[in-house]
């Protein structure tokens, strides 16, 4: 599949703070590409450089074969950027905001189909400030897509939305993708990354830590674990067990989590030791990790992908 975005060895510092550190990735046409990472990881800086809103220090960024710094005017008509709700005037009506953006993009229509999809038809005469959080987010999405861009950049699109509104937002984003639009989305909701994105890049301290389909990322060895309770299994013995990568222990609950490369042989060993030493095990289960687990693993371990 064709790459519509290529980022190569991107660097950006603010004074002595390195916000983006030698970052490289590419985005394929028609995918939902997630950029995930904790607060301050460099997500906004990266997305704003791609949008042409921020200057890079070094590296290459190609958006639809163009340079976002030099070709910004042309690119503005081919990419859509979802602005933060705070950048829209409170006393502007929905229809006025739509007209304004239509004028900016030289479009005569105000995205009627999109408005229907977003459920905003009834809200045309409502002031922006009187919309609910979900409606505001949907309006900013409508404004970003009015000119039918080929790529849409969304910075935390479901921030502040309740779970129902968040799912609605995901459906809208998926339908844009299904119509051939490429979507780049930053999020720090791991569930959003897992359920919405086709591929995710995990960044931390401005560096790429992992990049793959969410389901393949959680296939990562460290994302599998065994959980059980035991009042007497010595923690030190678990640490020494072959194949164990990490042990978590909740003393209050006598609960353990063993992260392992090999669930089967680790389980065999666990029960073998318990049998020989007469330790007690209960509530035993295998668990497949989620992106949340992987995220915590990378943050704690700090290993590179
Ligand atoms: N204009 C700026 N001046 C100085 N430092 C900045 C500026 N913008 C961002 N930073 C710093 O650069 C780092 C990366 O910030 P950035 O906003 O890109 O991260 P982020 O992953 O989007 O974080 P968040 O999820 O909190 O929005 C942070 O340490 C931040 O404090």
Task: List the chain pLDDT tens, one digit each, 305 residues.
Answer: 799 999 999 999 999 999 999 999 999 999 999 999 888 889 999 999 999 999 999 999 999 999 999 998 899 899 999 877 666 777 889 888 888 888 888 777 666 666 776 778 888 899 989 988 888 888 888 889 888 899 999 988 888 788 888 888 899 899 999 999 999 999 888 888 989 999 999 998 899 988 999 888 877 655 578 999 999 999 999 999 988 888 999 999 999 999 887 888 899 999 999 999 999 999 999 877 777 777 776 666 554 43
Cβ < 6 A, ligand 1 pocket: 14, 17, 19, 37, 39-45, 188
| Nearest protein CA to atom 6 of ligand 1, as residue | 14
CATH number for domain 221-289, candidates 3.30.70.100, 3.40.50.1580, 2.60.120.560, 3.20.20.80: 3.30.70.100
Q: Which residue has the tokens 């519509």?
A: 4
Query: Per CATH, is 3-78+149-217 categorized as 3.40.50.300?
Result: yes
Query: How would you list the strands of the sheet with 207-212, edge to edge?
Result: 79-81, 151-155, 182-187, 32-36, 199-204, 207-212
Question: ipTM value of the model?
Answer: 0.95
Contact 285, 227 (CB under 8 A): yes
Residue of 18, 45, 209 with the most ligand 1 atoms within 8 Å of its CB, for mutation: 45
Six-digit token pair at 113? 């189909």
Sign of the Cα pseudo-torsion (228, 230, 235, 236, in order): negative
Which residue blocks in the chain are alpha helix, DSSP H? 43-51, 72-76, 94-104, 112-118, 133-145, 163-178, 190-196, 214-217, 235-240, 263-277, 291-301
Distance in Å, CA 207 to ligand 1 centroid: 13
Distance CA 94, CA 87 (A): 14
CATH topology match: 3-78+149-217 vs 221-289: no
Domain boundaries, the chain: 3-78+149-217, 90-148, 221-289
């Amino acid at each position: 599949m064709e790459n519509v975005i290529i980022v190569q060895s991107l660097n950006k510092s603010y004074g002595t703070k390195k916000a983006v550190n030698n970052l490289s990735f590419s985005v394929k046409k028609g995918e939902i590409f997630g950029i995930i990472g904790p607060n301050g990881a460099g997500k906004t800086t990266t997305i704003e450089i791609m949008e042409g809103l921020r200057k890079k220090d070094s590296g290459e960024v190609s958006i639809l074969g163009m340079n976002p710094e030099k070709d910004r005017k042309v690119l503005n008509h081919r990419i859509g950027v979802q602005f933060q709700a705070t950048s829209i005037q409170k006393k502007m009506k929905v229809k006025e905001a739509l007209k304004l953006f239509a004028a900016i993009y030289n479009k005569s229509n105000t995205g009627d189909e999109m408005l229907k999809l977003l459920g905003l038809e009834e809200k045309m005469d409502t002031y922006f400030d009187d919309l609910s959080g979900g409606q505001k987010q949907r309006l900013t999405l409508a404004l970003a897509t009015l000119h039918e861009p080929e790529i849409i950049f969304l910075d935390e699109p479901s921030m502040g939305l309740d779970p129902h509104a968040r799912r609605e937002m995901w459906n809208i984003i998926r339908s844009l993708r299904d119509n051939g639009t490429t979507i780049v989305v930053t999020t720090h909701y791991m569930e959003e990354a897992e359920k919405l994105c086709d591929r995710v890049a995990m960044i931390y301290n401005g560096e790429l830590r992992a990049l793959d389909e969410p389901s393949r990322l959680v296939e990562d060895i460290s994302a599998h674990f065994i959980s059980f309770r035991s009042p007497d299994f010595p923690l030190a013995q678990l640490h020494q067990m072959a194949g164990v990568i990490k042990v978590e222990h909740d003393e209050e609950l006598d609960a353990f989590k063993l992260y392992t490369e090999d669930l089967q042989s680790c389980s065999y060993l666990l029960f073998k030791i318990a049998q020989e030493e007469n330790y007690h095990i209960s509530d035993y289960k295998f668990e497949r990790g989620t992106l949340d687990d992987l995220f915590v693993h990378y943050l704690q371990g700090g290993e590179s992908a």
